[in-house]
Each structure stands twice: as structure tokens, then as C-alpha cells.
Structure 1
């Protein structure tokens, strides 16, 4: 149920994600991060609200678009910064090479595949594990509209549907597979239409509306927990920045981007909370100042980490 407290928590977490990323982009500008980063601005509502519908022991296979889902799942901001800084403060203790190779099993964050679309089959595997162990956990797999067209989606979705696995597939449909418009490479109007081919429920939602996202995810989670099988959720979102940092995005019409930014989920949710009298300006300002201090402290701590030495090159490798 979307209580006033939960609505404020959703906003707080989205604002936290926005500010965390803003600081990471400063690290990039300062040359402190060696790897690529694919910003999540515009995707906060879909990533955050869906994760707040889960339990800590539920599983997440994230995609590379931002880190909102990881933060909302409970990952420590210091460890996330440490992963990008490639130092021992990170969740991989510096072995992630400064790109998104992040894992936190205690919070159900399983990591991601080395290639886009690999999470589809990994999610089915995690779902099968849940079913064989007889728990009521669920696994959520995030991916973009481009990765939705990989052959691995058919393999994973077919297995999940055939065996009624507790998997929730979430397509972050921002309309662009890097620089390719989705309608140029996808036959259906909505990815949710594909669900019927795998015997699962498919829903298409406004991914910029966190409250709609939360309710759709709760419904999918409840179905999965009671053995009702998987759900495919298409969240329609807007990517505010280039595909990766350094991509000028000149292939996108300026009007389209302007219209998208007018739907900024952080700004619109804040205004909505005030209009609904769920919170007032003073309360939200105090909340934001608290978050800003937390982000600054996390960034400062992450910068105190040290890089891994050569003695760790073979760590985790087995012959």
C-alpha cells in the first residue's frame, strides 16, 4: 500500500540516486574513474520504486543504466563509489576495474552478465533455484529496449514461462538502443505484447511515475510469490543524457529530449507530494539537505580507499 511514509521514502531514494550520480559524474570529470558510465538520469522512478517493492532476500540482476536499482536495493553508497574508483572500498574490493561489475549477495544483488542480455537467462536460472529450494523469493531482471531484442531474451523468457518461475522482467524502454530508435528494430508497438508468447502476463506502464511503478511491481511480486509465474513489465522512460558519458547524443531530436525532461520524475514527484499535502516544502528541503550530507560523506570516505596490489591478480581464479 502506498502510504504517505512510503511515498516520501520513494522520493527520498530517487533524490539520493540523483545526487549520488551527480557526485560520480564529478569524479569522472576529475579523471578519477577509468571506466565507462551510463547515466541513469530519467530512469530513477522505474529503478527505485520497483526495488522498494522487494524484500532484502529477493534477487536483482541490474542493467548498466545508472545505479538507482542497486541503491534502492540497499547497497552502501561508499561501496558503489569504491567500485567505480576501483579501490578496496568497493563491493569487489577493487577488482571491478572501475566499471559496473558490482555484487552484494547479502542484499540479493547478484551482479550482471559480461554482455548485455545475459541477465535474461541468469534470471531464469535464479528463478529455477528459488523454485527448487521452495522459498518464496523473486528475482528481478532489468534490461533496456536494445537488450530486449537479444536472442537470450527468448531463451530466458521461454524457460521462465514454461516452468512458472518467479521472475520479473523489467524493460527500461527509453526509445533508444544506443543511437538506434526502437521503432526501427522492433516489430511490436509495446514490449509487453511479447509476454503472451511465453505464457506470462505483460504490462506497459509510465516508468516516469514512481507510484504506478510500485503498484505494478507489487502485483507482479505477489503473483510470483504465490507460484503464478513471471511477469514482463515495460516501463516507458526518457534517457536524459547520452548513452554513455561522452556521447553527445546529436542523433536525438532536441524537442523530444525537452519534452522528456519536463517529466523529470524527481521534480514531478516532489511537486506531487506537496500538492497532495503528503509533505511540505520545509520537510522536503530538510530531507534533501540530509541526503546531500550523506552523499558527500560517502564520497569522501570512498576516496580514502586504496588500489589493489599485484598480489590480488589471481584472487577468485580457480584451475
Structure 2
């Protein structure tokens, strides 16, 4: 695959900065009582969402992970609708009916949502790939998931069907080595989740999940393969989680040294170094950060000003009509 262009890397850097600012904004809203929710931070894993989405078309379908803020932004969703979802406002992607990351959906951007149960995305993504095949188009279905959910039975059921039917599907496992607080080695019998692909006759690849170009290269190749009718691919991105499983997690299962070592491989810094090596000055990156910071403050103000849904919304989306009084 051709390398990422300067403009692609600059866009990746912008989305990474946007994701960091959005997480910081959500934490502020939690602290001041404006939002009551549980945030699963994706800090440290930004290269995965940006690398995946850089390899997709607008109409390709993405089932994102529960650390999916970067993934949502990289696929094209603006911060405003996400903030609206967090705050339960009508300006949200679900117009006030969502509950944050795992319920943000925008089919016009190919954002299909995320299963409320970890492991549910395997069968959903396979079903979407089957739907694309039946409709006769060449869209690809992509699912990003953590290594812990790969131990669910749905992984094996969907992998078998996808490989058997050569569905246009790409799975990417973001393996940060921790299933909540349990180390990967204590929960999974193999070191590499990618090894499971061979049992289904599916190709696989292991990449450095901190390097956006490595992620992009692997996904672009897998997407091209899927679009050509050659079936699914399993990619495992070895990555690092900087923060706890949830905000407020004391992380007693990790040492300070482990966290500090992980932060040395910050994907944002790696992208900045790549751009510097290409002769792109740091003041341009500084300008991007300032632009994104100003836009985020404006998005927060607009989201807070949006109304909450009224009681009339409770009957929307029902399969059966509401009974009326005689």
C-alpha cells in the first residue's frame, strides 16, 4: 500500500488532538455535575481509530469499541453531537436518547454503533457484511474490539460464518493487555489473538498499535482484499492504555512504572515526530491544537444550551403504535 501522505498525517494528528480535548471536556462535565456517566478513556490508543478510518471509504461500515471516541471522530462525527449524547440533549447523535459512546450512531457516516454487550459486535459486523453482499454493493464492514471480548463465543461463531461465506469484513483487535483489571496472560491461553484466524482459514496480521502508519497499512490491505471478494481478515494491534478501565479506577493492578513506560509511546508524539521528519514545522501543529481547542469550547457551549428531550419522545421508535383511550 502507498504510504500515508503529509495531509493524511496532519489530519490524523488533528483527530488525535480533538479526541484528547473531547475526553478532557467530558471529564470536566462529569466533575461539575453536568454529565452523569461512566467514561472509558481511549488515551494511548488513538493510532488505532485514526489508522483504521484513514483506510475506509465514507460508506464503509464501522462498529466501534467501547473506547471509541477517537474512532467516532475519525469516521467523521463532530464533537457537538457526541457531547449532546453525553449530556442527554436533543443536539446529540441520538437526539437525547443515547447514553454516550456506545450508543452514538450515524448511518450517513457509516457509523453503525456498538453493542451494549461486549462481544456482540462480532455477529453485528458479520451481519452487516452479509447485508452488503446481498445488496450487491462493495462496502466493507469493520469491527474494532478489545482482546478480552475475543474470548466470547460470538467471536468464533461469527468468524466461522464470515470465513465460510467470504464476507467483506475486517476485524481489528486492540490488544492493550488488560481485560478491565485482568492481564491478558491470565485470561487467554494464547499470546496473540491473531493466531485464532488460522483455525478459520482467515489471514491475520500483528501490528504496532501505537504507529498509525502501521495500522493504516494493515487495514488498507485488508479492506482491499475484502472489497475484492476475498473474504475477512483479522488484525491484532498491540497497544497501550494510559488511563484506568474507567475514570476513577485506582489501577491497583498496575505499577506506576508500567503506566509511565506506556506513556513513553504516545501515538500523538509518534505522529508529531513523523511529521517533523518530513519537514513539517511544530508551529503548524501548535496552530492545529489551538484551532481544535477553540472549536471544542464552542461545541461545549452549544451542547449545554441545547434542550433535553421531553416526555413525548418516550413513544418514538416503538414497533407497535401506542394504544389510545377509548
* CA offset digits 1:52-76 (Å, max 9, x no partner): 1101100011111141101000012
Alignment of 1:62-101 (within 5 A): 62-98=64-100, 100-101=102-103
Aligned match of 1:318? 319
Whole-angstrom distance in 2 between the partners of 1:240 and 1:74: 24
Secondary structure of the corresponding residue to residue 272 of structure 2: helix
* CA offset digits 1:168-221 (Å, max 9, x no partner): 111110000000001111111111111111111111110000111111110011
Alignment of 1:45-124 (within 5 A): 45-98=47-100, 100-124=102-126
* CA offset digits 1:1-55 (Å, max 9, x no partner): 3111111111121111111211111111112222211011011001111111101
Whole-angstrom distance in 1 between the partners of 2:116 and 2:273: 39
Q: Kindly indicate whether the alpha-carbon contact (under 8 Å) linking 2:82 and 2:100 is maintained by their aligned counterparts in 1.
A: no
Whole-angstrom distance in 2 between the partners of 1:74 and 1:123: 19
Whole-angstrom distance in 1 between the partners of 2:316 and 2:99: 14
Does residue 231 in structure 1 map to residue 251 in structure 2? no
Q: Offset at 1:98?
A: 4.7
Does residue 306 in structure 1 map to residue 280 in structure 2? no
Q: TM-score if structure 1 supplies the norm length?
A: 0.97
Aligned match of 1:36? 38
Q: TM-score if structure 2 supplies the norm length?
A: 0.95
* CA offset digits 1:247-302 (Å, max 9, x no partner): 1111112222111100011122112311331x101211112111111211111111
Whole-angstrom distance in 2 between the partners of 1:125 and 1:145: 21
Whole-angstrom distance in 2 between the partners of 1:149 and 1:98: 25
Secondary structure of the corresponding residue to residue 5 of structure 1: helix
Q: Kindly indicate whether the alpha-carbon contact (under 8 Å) linking 1:41 and 1:66 is maintained by their aligned counterparts in 2.
A: no
Aligned match of 2:323? none
The range that moved more, 175-184 or 248-257, is 248-257
Which runs of 5 or more structure 1 residues have no equivalent in the other structure? Answer: none
Aligned match of 1:211? 213
Whole-angstrom distance in 2 between the partners of 1:236 and 1:182: 12
Alignment of 1:1-319 (within 5 A): 1=2, 2-98=4-100, 100-277=102-279, 279-319=280-320
Q: Kindly indicate whether the alpha-carbon contact (under 8 Å) linking 1:34 and 1:99 is maintained by their aligned counterparts in 2.
A: no
Q: Kindly indicate whether the alpha-carbon contact (under 8 Å) linking 2:118 and 2:149 is maintained by their aligned counterparts in 1.
A: yes
Which runs of 5 or more structure 2 residues have no equivalent in the other structure? Answer: 321-326
Whole-angstrom distance in 2 between the partners of 1:198 and 1:29: 47
Secondary structure of the corresponding residue to residue 103 of structure 2: coil
The range that moved more, 54-63 or 268-277, is 268-277
Whole-angstrom distance in 2 between the partners of 1:11 and 1:215: 17
How many residues of Structure 1 are paired with residues of Structure 2 in the alignment? 318
Whole-angstrom distance in 1 between the partners of 2:141 and 2:68: 19
Q: Offset at 1:99?
A: 5.8
